[in-house]
Structure 1
Amino acid sequence: MSFTLAIVGRPNVGKSTLFNRLVGKRVALVDDQPGVTRDLREGEARLGDLRFTVIDTAGLEEVTDESLQGRMRALTERAVGMANACLFLIDARAGVLPADEVFTDILRRKSARVILGANKSEGTAAEAGVLESYALGLGEPVRLSAEHGEGMSDLYTALAPLIEEAEAREIEEAAPETDVEVDEDDAEEGPRVPTAARPLQIAVVGRPNAGKSTLVNAILGEDRLLTGPEAGITRDAISVALDWQGTPVRIFDTAGMRKKARVQDKVEKLSVGDALRAVKFAEVVVVLLDGQAPFEVQDLKIADLAEREGRAVVVAVNKWDLETDRQGRLRALKEQFAHVLPQLRGAPLVTVSALTGRGLDRLHDAVMSAYGVWNRRVSTAKLNRWLAGMVEVHPPPAPGGRRIRLRYMTQAKTRPPGFVVMCSNPEKLPESYRRYLINGLREDFDMPGTPIRLTFRGQGHQNPFKGRKKKTPSRLRKHLGKKPLDG
């Protein structure tokens, strides 16, 4: 089990900046506006030779009700209870505030290991705040500057003994298991490994308040992500790794995407950008629709974005528990889906209820089916026999009286499936014929819903010397340049 460090503190003390510094890349949203972080974000930290898990938390607020700030505080306190140690950050320039003293008492009760960090301590303006922090009774503060990377060696000194102690305790607790006799046949089999070499990357996207975080919580079986009736709660693209019905996956919960014209706030722009990056790095994109208002214009744009990025797409209709005429409604949804998203014709469409957890088995099967089609490969021999049949049924056009010849076809890539057709005059082949071949590929090779890339190339791509003038050898040019001899 990896050592876990939770970074906690008031809003805007630099928790996310320090988190990005420890994981070595900018993954958490950072802005001068307080309260940007709302969910728990985990990352693999590297500090010298130390390797541990770090958790970025929401800013602690002095509220305990069911408001958004109260739920954020409850989630942060839960992270404190889960972590092996806590790094309590204060703003050294602002000094110790009354809220810092309140949270110090909370940390004393909930965590046995607390490291005090005085962030933004570069320069003389922070000296008074560092001295004030001794009054919190958490020991000598670690002077840090998360933005400039100062004080990392001091943080290493404070963390190293705690990590060594945790590792020693883990070895000691596991020691009795080594005395158990193991059958030789069982020992040779080794530990059970996941079926995939790496987890399947899944991004859950949709409009605000469609229920994305609630759906991810239902898949996890715990309230890991912040949820509520307010729209736009999620800001970061939070990733969670789990074993989903025997499949190792990493699910990205993303911020709700509104119309671009309505996105004016800087933090919301950063959130949407984070969601778009999650789509680009995902393998399967689950487009979550609100069952009470499905297939809005923004839903169509989000689904089209996933298709243009070449991701496998699954459309999930949420809040199905509120539907009364489910059979009739499902038929209408499928007809509407085929009409408004023809580029994703045949993609899985499933109904779920994130609130009750119904339909998650169907969603898992749909994700695995879409992923399998996304990775499908067809042999060259089958493709060329298929291409000959398609040309015989519907020959390509003959612009200027000369028919375009489709000579050869092969699959160049998967994820998504990409095909190349060698032909004459590819620039004169109309888009309608491209669609004819793509629809045929979907139907004849059982590739519904997945993006298909079809490229036409001329013979000039095979011969790099085509079109180049022949050059006369230099010796011959020299000989031809001489005048003939007399006589």
Structure 2
Amino acid sequence: MAAPVMAIVGTPNVGKSTLFNRIIGQRMAIVENRPGITRDRIFASTEWRSRSFRVIDTGGLEVGQVDEITLRIRSQIELAIDEAQVIVFVVDGLNGVTSADEEIANLLRRSGKPVIVAVNKLDNVERGSLAYEFFGLGFEQTLGVSAEHALGIGDLLDAVFDFFPDESTDQEAIDEDAIKVAVIGRPNVGKSSLINALLGEDRVLVSDQAGTTRDAIDTSLTLDDAKFVLIDTAGMRKRGKVYEATEKYSVLRALRAIERSDVAVLIIDASSGIIEQDKRVVGYALDAGKAIIIAVNKWDAVEKNGKTAQEFEKMIRSHFPFLAWAPIVFISAKTGQRVRKVLEIAAEAAENHAQRIATSTINTIVQEAVAMVPPPTDKGKRLKILYATQVAVKPPTFAVFVNKADMMHFSYQRYLENKLRESFGFLGTPMRILIRERNSHERR
């Protein structure tokens, strides 16, 4: 089930990003530096009253401007409005109602979506009365808040929660026993062609024109008694093109498709190699904790020698060092070459993604790993691994309890992960390791 979406809109400098960070509980930079992954960050997942939802932070809308940047920001806001179940319209309580606020209010009314006005910067009781002026914008739900000081945020989220759709009536609910496979990648790499090859019929529109598929499409399939739901996502374009009128909603819809999946199949075009956008696309699936397969399509069009596949795989690994556990399969959606293999691997990856290991077995492996390579020391003190246990699946998540969390070096944590993978496989699935001190206070 896709999580509901809340969008934050408003003019510049009213505190939208501060509110965004307050709601998600962390300070999130616009661009996240992480080895091998570079992508923009305008959204995050969080929860309220045990309900997960996605928050979109939009750029400040400069009313009256017609330059390229402003037009792109406006398109971004339209994207957010289109996808959101509820919109939080942030205004500056100290400045009063501006002409820009009134223009945005008109835009929001035309959307027909529920709107909550968050009158920000009301940092004390004396300023509370400043919120009354904003009822003149015409929205019944108008609340005073201070994003900086966390005042009124709970009331705001309660109001947002009331507009979320009932989980029991979600139309996107599908067969829980089926393996949900999202086919992802940049435009024109053959996503729809792969699904058609698997189905044996042209059920999904295929075109040589990049970006033909606009929405995520679900198709059911049974293979060797295993049930699958194939989700064909709209091709994700480079940032500069993502807000073109015919496809400006594609990225967010693809993200929601990834969210509903168990396994994401990244399609790479063998004829054009790997570009930065491929890293961006798979980064979304990795952040969501999904099992991942890399499928190199159009392999039939590549001139080969005895080492072509080996060299191509080496190149992929160098571009995706964070996906060393992801299987690679070379396919041709056009000829049907090895397309069945994609689902066979997806079934294995989905099983590993949901795999749960007994605590006693985990501790046996961890203690053997510690005996082979002792934990690091610092100023005469040694890190002690007390015990480990699995705390979640999808993806497999392990808590390792230690005497001093600050002494756990990332290289030793990676060593423990590798030992767990050697013992239990976990092909195709990411793994998360949480380091906890003896007092169960999570430090990392």
**TM beyond 0.5:** yes
Identity among equivalent pairs (%): 36
Q: 1:408 to 1:450 in 2, by over 3 A?
A: same
Query: Is residue 270 of structure 1 aligned with residue 257 of structure 2?
Result: no
Q: Which residues of 2 match residues 303-318 of structure 1 at below 5 A?
A: 303-318=282-297
Q: 1:222 to 1:247 in 2, by over 3 A?
A: same
CA positional deviation for 1:448: 3.1
CA distance in 2, matches of 1:308, 1:462: 24
CA distance in 2, matches of 1:340, 1:361: 26
Partner of 2:221, secondary structure, is strand
Q: 1:362 to 1:372 in 2, by over 3 A?
A: same
Return 5+ residue gaps in structure 1 as ranges. 1-24, 28-146, 149-195, 464-487
In the alignment, which residue of structure 1 is the partner of 2:346? Answer: 367
In the alignment, which residue of structure 2 is the partner of 1:413? Answer: 392
- 270-279 or 354-363: bigger deviation: 354-363
- 434-443 or 326-335: bigger deviation: 326-335
Q: Which residue identity does 1:419 align to in structure 2?
A: F
CA distance in 1, matches of 2:237, 2:245: 14
In the alignment, which residue of structure 2 is the partner of 1:397? Answer: 376
Q: Which residue identity does 2:321 align to in structure 1?
A: P
CA distance in 2, matches of 1:239, 1:350: 23
Q: 1:456 to 1:205 in 2, by over 3 A?
A: same
CA positional deviation for 1:268: 2.5
In the alignment, which residue of structure 2 is the partner of 1:460? Answer: 439
Partner of 2:182, secondary structure, is strand
Alignment equivalent of 2:180, drawn from 187, 195, 201: 201
CA distance in 1, matches of 2:263, 2:384: 36
In the alignment, which residue of structure 2 is the partner of 1:380? Answer: 359
CA distance in 2, matches of 1:257, 1:298: 8
Superposed CA deviations along residues 272-324 of structure 1, whole A, max 9, x for unmatched, are 10001111110010101111023222112222322221111111111122123
Q: Which residues of 2 match residues 317-356 of structure 1 at below 5 A?
A: 317-325=296-304, 327-356=306-335
Query: Is residue 215 of structure 1 aligned with residue 225 of structure 2?
Result: no
Q: Which residue identity does 1:213 align to in structure 2?
A: S
Partner of 1:460, secondary structure, is coil
CA positional deviation for 1:227: 1.1
Instruction: Work out whether residues 345 and 448 of structure 1, in 8 Å CA contact, stay in contact via their aligned partners in 2.
Output: no
In the alignment, which residue of structure 2 is the partner of 1:18? Answer: none
Instruction: Work out whether residues 346 and 449 of structure 1, in 8 Å CA contact, stay in contact via their aligned partners in 2.
Output: yes
In the alignment, which residue of structure 1 is the partner of 2:415? Answer: 436
Partner of 1:285, secondary structure, is strand
Instruction: Work out whether residues 377 and 407 of structure 2, in 8 Å CA contact, stay in contact via their aligned partners in 1.
Output: no
Q: 1:346 to 1:333 in 2, by over 3 A?
A: farther
CA distance in 1, matches of 2:387, 2:325: 27
Q: 1:433 to 1:399 in 2, by over 3 A?
A: same
CA positional deviation for 1:228: 1.1
CA distance in 2, matches of 1:257, 1:273: 9
CA distance in 2, matches of 1:462, 1:428: 15
Partner of 2:382, secondary structure, is coil
Instruction: Work out whether residues 179 and 347 of structure 2, in 8 Å CA contact, stay in contact via their aligned partners in 1.
Output: no
In the alignment, which residue of structure 2 is the partner of 1:294? Answer: 273
Q: 1:307 to 1:444 in 2, by over 3 A?
A: same
CA distance in 1, matches of 2:257, 2:308: 31
CA positional deviation for 1:216: 1.0
CA positional deviation for 1:219: 1.2
CA distance in 2, matches of 1:318, 1:394: 41
Instruction: Work out whether residues 243 and 249 of structure 2, in 8 Å CA contact, stay in contact via their aligned partners in 1.
Output: no
Instruction: Work out whether residues 268 and 296 of structure 2, in 8 Å CA contact, stay in contact via their aligned partners in 1.
Output: yes
Alignment equivalent of 2:404, drawn from 404, 425, 437: 425
Instruction: Work out whether residues 377 and 417 of structure 1, in 8 Å CA contact, stay in contact via their aligned partners in 2.
Output: yes
In the alignment, which residue of structure 1 is the partner of 2:230? Answer: 251
Return 5+ residue gaps in structure 2 as ranges. 6-111, 114-174
Instruction: Work out whether residues 425 and 458 of structure 1, in 8 Å CA contact, stay in contact via their aligned partners in 2.
Output: yes
Instruction: Work out whether residues 294 and 317 of structure 1, in 8 Å CA contact, stay in contact via their aligned partners in 2.
Output: no
In the alignment, which residue of structure 1 is the partner of 2:108? Answer: none
CA positional deviation for 1:266: 4.6
CA positional deviation for 1:362: 1.5
Query: Is residue 240 of structure 1 aligned with residue 213 of structure 2?
Result: no
Q: 1:327 to 1:311 in 2, by over 3 A?
A: farther
Q: Which residues of 2 match residues 30-41 of structure 1 at below 5 A?
A: none
Partner of 1:461, secondary structure, is coil
Structure 1 runs of 4+ aligned residues shifted over 3 Å read none
Q: Which residue identity does 1:351 align to in structure 2?
A: F
Partner of 2:279, secondary structure, is helix
Instruction: Work out whether residues 395 and 430 of structure 2, in 8 Å CA contact, stay in contact via their aligned partners in 1.
Output: yes
Q: 1:326 to 1:316 in 2, by over 3 A?
A: farther
Higher relative contact order (CA 8 A, sep 6+): 2
TM-score by length of 1: 0.53
CA RMSD after TM alignment: 2.5
Q: 1:229 to 1:313 in 2, by over 3 A?
A: same
Instruction: Work out whether residues 198 and 340 of structure 2, in 8 Å CA contact, stay in contact via their aligned partners in 1.
Output: no
CA distance in 1, matches of 2:211, 2:342: 24
Higher helix fraction (1 or 2): 1
Partner of 2:266, secondary structure, is strand
Q: Which residues of 2 match residues 112-151 of structure 1 at below 5 A?
A: none
State which structure, 1 or 2, has the greater radius of gyration over its C-alpha atoms: 1
Q: How many residues align?
A: 274
CA distance in 1, matches of 2:369, 2:183: 37
Partner of 2:237, secondary structure, is coil
CA positional deviation for 1:338: 2.4
